[in-house]
Chains A and B, each alone.
Chain A
Amino acid sequence: MEPSGMLAIGAGLAVGLAGIGTGIGQKDAAAAAIGAITEDKGMLGKSLMFVALPETIVIFGLVIAFLILFVM
Chain B
Amino acid sequence: MFGHKGKGNYAYVVARVRAKKASLMGDEVYQKMLMMSLPEISRFISESGYQKEMAELAGRIGGIDLVEHATYMNMARVFSDILRSTTGELRDMVSAYLTKWDLWNLKVILRGKAYGADKESIKEDLVPAGRLNEVMLDKLLSLETDKEVIEEFGRMEHMKVPPEVVNAFTAEGRLGSVEDYFDRLFYTRLLSQLDPSSGPKRLFQDFIRREIDTINLETILILKMEGIFGDDVMKYIIPGGKQIDKKLATQLANAETISAAANDLSQLDFYEDIKETLTENGSLKNFVAAMKKYHIGLTKKFSSLYPLSVIPVLDFMIRKNIEVDNIRIIARGIESGIDRETIKELLVI
Contact = CB atoms under 8 A, between A and B. Distances in A.
Contacts of A43: 19
Interface in B1-49: 9-16, 18-20, 23
Interface stretch (A1-9, A13-21, A26-34, A62-70): A26-34
Interface string A31-62: 11111101110010000000000000000000
Interface core residue of A32, A39, A43 (most chain B CB under 10 Å): A32
Interface residues of B, number: 14
Nearest to A34: B12
A33 B18 CA distance: 12
B308 interface: yes
Nearest to A43: B19
Contact of B16 (A28, A29, A39): A39
Contacts, number: 37
A43 B18 CA distance: 13
A32 B20 contact: no
A40 to B, nearest CB: 5
Interface core residue of A29, A36, A43 (most chain B CB under 10 Å): A36
A31 B19 contact: no
Contact of A31 (B11, B18, B23): B11
Contact of B20 (A28, A31, A39): A39
Interface core residue of A34, A35, A40 (most chain B CB under 10 Å): A35
A31 B12 CA distance: 5
B303 to A, nearest CB: 15
Contact of A40 (B13, B19, B85): B19
Contacts of B10: 28
B51 to A, nearest CB: 16
Given A40-B19, A43-B19, A35 B13 contact: yes
Interface string B148-174: 000000000000000000000000000
Contacts of A28: 10-11, 308
A43 B15 CA distance: 11
Contacts of A36: 15-16, 18-19
5 contacts: A27-B11, A33-B15, A35-B15, A39-B19, A39-B23
Interface of B: 9-16, 18-20, 23, 85, 308
Q: Which 4 residue pairs of A and B lie closest in terms of their CB atoms, listed nearest first?
A: A35-B15, A39-B19, A32-B15, A28-B11
